[in-house]
Structure 1
Amino acid sequence: MLYKVIHIGKYIKKVADEKEIPMERICNFLNKDEEFVNALFESSSVDTDILLRCSKLLEYDFFRIYSSHLILYAPPSAVNKNQQKTDTTPQFRKNIYTQEIKDFIMKKITSGEMTQSDVISEYSIPKSTLHRWLQKKNNEL
Protein backbone atom coordinates (compact mmCIF):
# COMPACT_ATOMS: atom_id res chain seq x y z
CA MET A 1 0.00 0.00 0.00
CA LEU A 2 1.35 3.40 -0.95
CA TYR A 3 0.51 5.94 1.74
CA LYS A 4 1.69 9.04 -0.13
CA VAL A 5 -1.25 9.23 -2.54
CA ILE A 6 -4.59 8.23 -1.03
CA HIS A 7 -7.63 7.49 -3.21
CA ILE A 8 -10.00 6.47 -0.43
CA GLY A 9 -12.84 5.46 -2.76
CA LYS A 10 -10.69 2.76 -4.35
CA TYR A 11 -9.75 1.42 -0.89
CA ILE A 12 -13.41 1.31 0.17
CA LYS A 13 -14.38 -0.54 -3.04
CA LYS A 14 -11.47 -2.96 -2.63
CA VAL A 15 -12.47 -3.87 0.93
CA ALA A 16 -16.16 -4.15 -0.01
CA ASP A 17 -15.25 -6.49 -2.90
CA GLU A 18 -12.92 -8.58 -0.72
CA LYS A 19 -15.62 -8.98 1.92
CA GLU A 20 -18.23 -9.60 -0.79
CA ILE A 21 -20.65 -7.04 0.62
CA PRO A 22 -23.63 -6.68 -1.77
CA MET A 23 -24.36 -3.23 -3.19
CA GLU A 24 -27.86 -3.37 -1.71
CA ARG A 25 -26.48 -3.77 1.81
CA ILE A 26 -24.03 -0.90 1.33
CA CYS A 27 -26.85 1.34 0.06
CA ASN A 28 -29.12 0.40 2.95
CA PHE A 29 -26.42 0.91 5.58
CA LEU A 30 -25.39 4.31 4.21
CA ASN A 31 -29.02 5.22 3.50
CA LYS A 32 -27.99 6.29 -0.02
CA ASP A 33 -28.77 5.13 -3.54
CA GLU A 34 -26.56 3.04 -5.82
CA GLU A 35 -25.52 6.09 -7.83
CA PHE A 36 -24.13 7.71 -4.67
CA VAL A 37 -22.21 4.56 -3.70
CA ASN A 38 -20.67 4.27 -7.18
CA ALA A 39 -19.64 7.93 -6.97
CA LEU A 40 -18.17 7.18 -3.53
CA PHE A 41 -16.02 4.41 -5.03
CA GLU A 42 -14.72 6.87 -7.64
CA SER A 43 -14.06 9.70 -5.18
CA SER A 44 -10.56 10.47 -3.94
CA SER A 45 -11.97 12.08 -0.78
CA VAL A 46 -14.97 11.24 1.37
CA ASP A 47 -16.93 13.07 4.07
CA THR A 48 -15.80 11.85 7.50
CA ASP A 49 -19.30 10.79 8.51
CA ILE A 50 -19.57 8.58 5.42
CA LEU A 51 -16.04 7.25 6.00
CA LEU A 52 -16.95 6.37 9.59
CA ARG A 53 -20.06 4.52 8.41
CA CYS A 54 -18.01 2.64 5.78
CA SER A 55 -15.48 1.72 8.46
CA LYS A 56 -18.25 0.28 10.62
CA LEU A 57 -19.97 -1.57 7.79
CA LEU A 58 -16.79 -3.06 6.36
CA GLU A 59 -15.11 -3.54 9.76
CA TYR A 60 -11.99 -1.78 8.50
CA ASP A 61 -10.36 1.37 9.91
CA PHE A 62 -10.06 3.61 6.84
CA PHE A 63 -8.86 6.47 9.05
CA ARG A 64 -5.68 4.50 9.74
CA ILE A 65 -4.67 5.06 6.12
CA TYR A 66 -4.60 8.80 6.80
CA SER A 67 -2.85 8.30 10.15
CA SER A 68 -0.16 6.29 8.38
CA HIS A 69 0.25 9.08 5.85
CA LEU A 70 0.72 11.60 8.66
CA ILE A 71 3.28 9.45 10.42
CA LEU A 72 5.31 8.99 7.23
CA TYR A 73 4.96 12.32 5.48
CA ALA A 74 4.05 15.06 7.98
CA PRO A 75 7.05 17.18 8.91
CA PRO A 76 8.03 17.08 12.57
CA SER A 77 6.58 20.02 14.43
CA ALA A 78 8.90 22.77 15.53
CA VAL A 79 8.76 22.97 19.28
CA ASN A 80 9.49 26.26 20.98
CA LYS A 81 10.53 25.37 24.53
CA ASN A 82 9.91 28.92 25.76
CA GLN A 83 6.30 28.87 24.60
CA GLN A 84 3.73 27.76 27.15
CA LYS A 85 1.26 25.13 26.14
CA THR A 86 -2.14 26.80 25.85
CA ASP A 87 -3.62 24.44 23.29
CA THR A 88 -6.56 22.45 24.66
CA THR A 89 -6.87 20.08 21.70
CA PRO A 90 -5.73 16.49 22.23
CA GLN A 91 -2.10 15.87 21.33
CA PHE A 92 -1.19 12.58 19.67
CA ARG A 93 2.21 11.01 19.72
CA LYS A 94 3.70 10.75 16.27
CA ASN A 95 6.02 7.89 17.12
CA ILE A 96 3.38 5.17 17.29
CA TYR A 97 4.01 3.04 14.22
CA THR A 98 1.50 0.47 12.98
CA GLN A 99 2.64 -2.88 11.66
CA GLU A 100 1.70 -1.75 8.15
CA ILE A 101 4.10 1.19 8.44
CA LYS A 102 6.87 -1.03 9.78
CA ASP A 103 6.34 -3.47 6.88
CA PHE A 104 6.30 -0.58 4.39
CA ILE A 105 9.61 0.78 5.71
CA MET A 106 11.25 -2.64 5.94
CA LYS A 107 10.22 -3.40 2.34
CA LYS A 108 11.86 -0.14 1.19
CA ILE A 109 15.11 -1.12 2.92
CA THR A 110 15.19 -4.81 1.94
CA SER A 111 14.39 -4.05 -1.70
CA GLY A 112 17.28 -1.58 -1.82
CA GLU A 113 14.92 1.25 -2.76
CA MET A 114 16.08 3.24 0.26
CA THR A 115 19.02 3.03 2.64
CA GLN A 116 18.67 3.21 6.41
CA SER A 117 19.87 6.81 6.43
CA ASP A 118 17.40 7.66 3.64
CA VAL A 119 14.55 6.28 5.76
CA ILE A 120 15.74 8.16 8.85
CA SER A 121 15.94 11.49 7.02
CA GLU A 122 12.82 11.05 4.82
CA TYR A 123 10.38 9.80 7.46
CA SER A 124 12.00 11.19 10.66
CA ILE A 125 12.13 7.74 12.23
CA PRO A 126 14.63 7.64 15.10
CA LYS A 127 17.79 5.68 14.33
CA SER A 128 17.37 3.50 17.43
CA THR A 129 13.78 2.62 16.44
CA LEU A 130 14.83 1.62 12.93
CA HIS A 131 17.70 -0.50 14.26
CA ARG A 132 15.32 -2.22 16.67
CA TRP A 133 12.99 -3.08 13.75
CA LEU A 134 15.92 -4.41 11.71
CA GLN A 135 17.22 -6.46 14.63
CA LYS A 136 13.78 -7.97 15.23
CA LYS A 137 13.45 -8.80 11.52
CA ASN A 138 16.89 -10.48 11.51
CA ASN A 139 15.96 -12.51 14.60
CA GLU A 140 12.80 -13.74 12.84
CA LEU A 141 14.83 -15.07 9.91
Structure 2
Amino acid sequence: MEDFRSIHIGNFIRRRVDESGLEMDRIIGFMKRTEEEILEMFTCSSLDTEVLLRWSKLLRYDFFRLYTQHIMLYAPTGKDLMNEKKKEKDGETSLPVFRKNIYTTEIIQFILGLIDTGEKTRQEVMEDYKIPKTTLYKWLTKYKQQKPDED
Protein backbone atom coordinates (compact mmCIF):
# COMPACT_ATOMS: atom_id res chain seq x y z
CA MET A 1 0.00 0.00 0.00
CA GLU A 2 1.13 3.50 -0.78
CA ASP A 3 2.01 5.95 1.95
CA PHE A 4 -0.39 8.86 1.45
CA ARG A 5 1.23 10.92 4.21
CA SER A 6 3.74 12.52 1.84
CA ILE A 7 2.81 12.74 -1.83
CA HIS A 8 5.50 13.39 -4.44
CA ILE A 9 3.27 13.79 -7.48
CA GLY A 10 6.17 13.83 -9.95
CA ASN A 11 7.17 10.32 -8.87
CA PHE A 12 3.61 9.05 -9.32
CA ILE A 13 3.35 10.60 -12.78
CA ARG A 14 6.73 9.17 -13.82
CA ARG A 15 5.67 5.69 -12.69
CA ARG A 16 2.43 5.94 -14.66
CA VAL A 17 4.29 7.16 -17.76
CA ASP A 18 6.68 4.20 -17.48
CA GLU A 19 3.77 1.77 -17.05
CA SER A 20 1.83 3.21 -19.97
CA GLY A 21 4.74 3.15 -22.41
CA LEU A 22 3.74 6.50 -23.90
CA GLU A 23 6.29 8.02 -26.24
CA MET A 24 7.82 11.36 -25.21
CA ASP A 25 6.66 12.95 -28.49
CA ARG A 26 3.03 12.14 -27.62
CA ILE A 27 3.47 13.57 -24.11
CA ILE A 28 5.11 16.75 -25.45
CA GLY A 29 2.30 17.26 -27.97
CA PHE A 30 -0.48 16.71 -25.46
CA MET A 31 1.08 18.70 -22.63
CA LYS A 32 2.30 21.48 -24.97
CA ARG A 33 5.62 21.58 -23.13
CA THR A 34 9.25 20.90 -24.01
CA GLU A 35 10.96 17.64 -23.11
CA GLU A 36 13.00 19.49 -20.48
CA GLU A 37 9.81 20.85 -18.88
CA ILE A 38 8.27 17.37 -18.87
CA LEU A 39 11.37 15.86 -17.24
CA GLU A 40 11.35 18.68 -14.68
CA MET A 41 7.75 17.83 -13.76
CA PHE A 42 8.87 14.33 -12.80
CA THR A 43 11.07 15.89 -10.09
CA CYS A 44 8.35 18.15 -8.66
CA SER A 45 6.61 17.26 -5.41
CA SER A 46 3.61 19.38 -6.44
CA LEU A 47 2.13 20.68 -9.70
CA ASP A 48 -0.47 23.24 -10.73
CA THR A 49 -3.97 21.73 -10.84
CA GLU A 50 -4.43 22.48 -14.55
CA VAL A 51 -1.20 20.63 -15.30
CA LEU A 52 -2.24 17.75 -13.06
CA LEU A 53 -5.61 17.59 -14.81
CA ARG A 54 -3.85 17.31 -18.19
CA TRP A 55 -1.65 14.49 -16.85
CA SER A 56 -4.75 12.74 -15.50
CA LYS A 57 -6.43 12.91 -18.89
CA LEU A 58 -3.34 11.86 -20.84
CA LEU A 59 -2.48 8.94 -18.58
CA ARG A 60 -6.11 8.01 -17.80
CA TYR A 61 -5.44 8.03 -14.08
CA ASP A 62 -7.04 10.24 -11.41
CA PHE A 63 -3.98 11.77 -9.72
CA PHE A 64 -6.28 13.94 -7.60
CA ARG A 65 -7.47 10.79 -5.85
CA LEU A 66 -4.04 10.56 -4.19
CA TYR A 67 -4.80 13.82 -2.40
CA THR A 68 -8.33 12.68 -1.57
CA GLN A 69 -6.88 9.64 0.17
CA HIS A 70 -4.49 11.89 2.10
CA ILE A 71 -7.38 14.05 3.29
CA MET A 72 -9.42 11.02 4.34
CA LEU A 73 -6.55 9.62 6.39
CA TYR A 74 -4.88 12.71 7.79
CA ALA A 75 -7.40 15.57 7.86
CA PRO A 76 -8.27 16.96 11.28
CA THR A 77 -11.50 15.74 12.82
CA GLY A 78 -13.66 16.80 15.73
CA LYS A 79 -15.66 19.97 16.35
CA ASP A 80 -14.47 21.69 13.18
CA LEU A 81 -15.74 18.79 11.07
CA MET A 82 -19.12 18.84 12.79
CA ASN A 83 -19.41 22.61 12.28
CA GLU A 84 -18.57 22.23 8.59
CA LYS A 85 -21.20 19.49 8.15
CA LYS A 86 -23.78 21.74 9.83
CA LYS A 87 -22.87 24.62 7.49
CA GLU A 88 -23.19 22.31 4.47
CA LYS A 89 -26.64 21.15 5.62
CA ASP A 90 -27.75 24.74 6.22
CA GLY A 91 -26.62 25.74 2.73
CA GLU A 92 -23.92 28.10 3.98
CA THR A 93 -21.37 27.02 1.39
CA SER A 94 -21.34 27.86 -2.29
CA LEU A 95 -19.01 24.95 -3.02
CA PRO A 96 -20.29 21.57 -4.20
CA VAL A 97 -21.21 19.23 -1.36
CA PHE A 98 -20.41 15.56 -1.92
CA ARG A 99 -22.61 13.04 -0.18
CA LYS A 100 -20.30 10.06 -0.08
CA ASN A 101 -16.68 9.48 0.75
CA ILE A 102 -14.48 7.72 -1.75
CA TYR A 103 -12.99 4.63 -0.16
CA THR A 104 -10.54 2.81 -2.38
CA THR A 105 -9.49 -0.77 -1.80
CA GLU A 106 -6.16 0.52 -0.47
CA ILE A 107 -7.87 2.71 2.11
CA ILE A 108 -10.17 -0.12 3.18
CA GLN A 109 -7.20 -2.48 3.53
CA PHE A 110 -5.28 0.15 5.50
CA ILE A 111 -8.16 0.64 7.93
CA LEU A 112 -8.86 -3.08 8.31
CA GLY A 113 -5.11 -3.58 8.85
CA LEU A 114 -5.24 -1.17 11.79
CA ILE A 115 -7.96 -3.33 13.34
CA ASP A 116 -6.23 -6.63 12.51
CA THR A 117 -2.95 -5.56 14.10
CA GLY A 118 -4.72 -4.17 17.17
CA GLU A 119 -3.35 -0.68 16.51
CA LYS A 120 -6.92 0.64 16.68
CA THR A 121 -10.22 -0.77 17.87
CA ARG A 122 -13.31 -0.74 15.69
CA GLN A 123 -14.69 2.11 17.79
CA GLU A 124 -11.48 4.14 17.39
CA VAL A 125 -11.56 3.64 13.61
CA MET A 126 -15.18 4.83 13.46
CA GLU A 127 -14.38 7.90 15.57
CA ASP A 128 -11.00 8.80 14.06
CA TYR A 129 -11.96 8.36 10.40
CA LYS A 130 -15.70 9.11 10.67
CA ILE A 131 -16.62 5.80 9.09
CA PRO A 132 -20.20 4.75 9.76
CA LYS A 133 -20.60 1.57 11.80
CA THR A 134 -22.57 -0.17 9.05
CA THR A 135 -19.89 0.63 6.48
CA LEU A 136 -17.10 -0.71 8.68
CA TYR A 137 -18.97 -3.92 9.45
CA LYS A 138 -19.74 -4.45 5.74
CA TRP A 139 -16.02 -4.11 5.01
CA LEU A 140 -15.15 -6.55 7.79
CA THR A 141 -17.59 -9.11 6.42
CA LYS A 142 -16.72 -8.63 2.75
CA TYR A 143 -12.94 -8.55 3.06
CA LYS A 144 -12.78 -11.33 5.65
CA GLN A 145 -14.58 -13.62 3.17
CA GLN A 146 -12.13 -12.69 0.40
CA LYS A 147 -9.05 -13.69 2.40
CA PRO A 148 -7.81 -17.26 1.85
CA ASP A 149 -8.29 -19.60 4.78
CA GLU A 150 -5.26 -19.74 7.03
CA ASP A 151 -5.25 -23.16 8.72
TM-score (normalizing by structure 1)? 0.83
| Structure 2 equivalent of residue 87 of structure 1 | 93
| Structure 1 equivalent of residue 136 of structure 2 | 130
Question: Deviation digits for residues 32-83 of structure 1, max 9, x if unmatched?
Answer: 0111111100101011111111111111111111111122222341327599
Equivalent position amino acid for 1:79 in 2: N
Question: When the two structures are aligned, how many residues end up with a matched partner?
Answer: 140
Runs of 5+ consecutive residues of structure 2 not aligned to the other structure: none
Greater alpha carbon shift after TM alignment, 83-92 vs 68-77: 83-92
1:102 to 2:108 alignment? yes
Distance 2:53 2:45 in 1: 16
Query: Is the partner of 2:22 in helix, strand or coil?
Result: coil
1:18 to 2:32 alignment? no
Runs of 5+ consecutive residues of structure 1 not aligned to the other structure: none
Do the aligned partners of 1:71 and 1:94 also contact (CA within 8 Å) in 2? Answer: no
| Structure 1 equivalent of residue 61 of structure 2 | 60
Greater alpha carbon shift after TM alignment, 87-96 vs 30-39: 87-96
Distance 1:93 1:5 in 2: 26
Greater alpha carbon shift after TM alignment, 69-78 vs 45-54: 69-78
Determine what percentage of the aligned residue pairs are the same residue.
Answer: 43
Equivalent position amino acid for 1:50 in 2: V
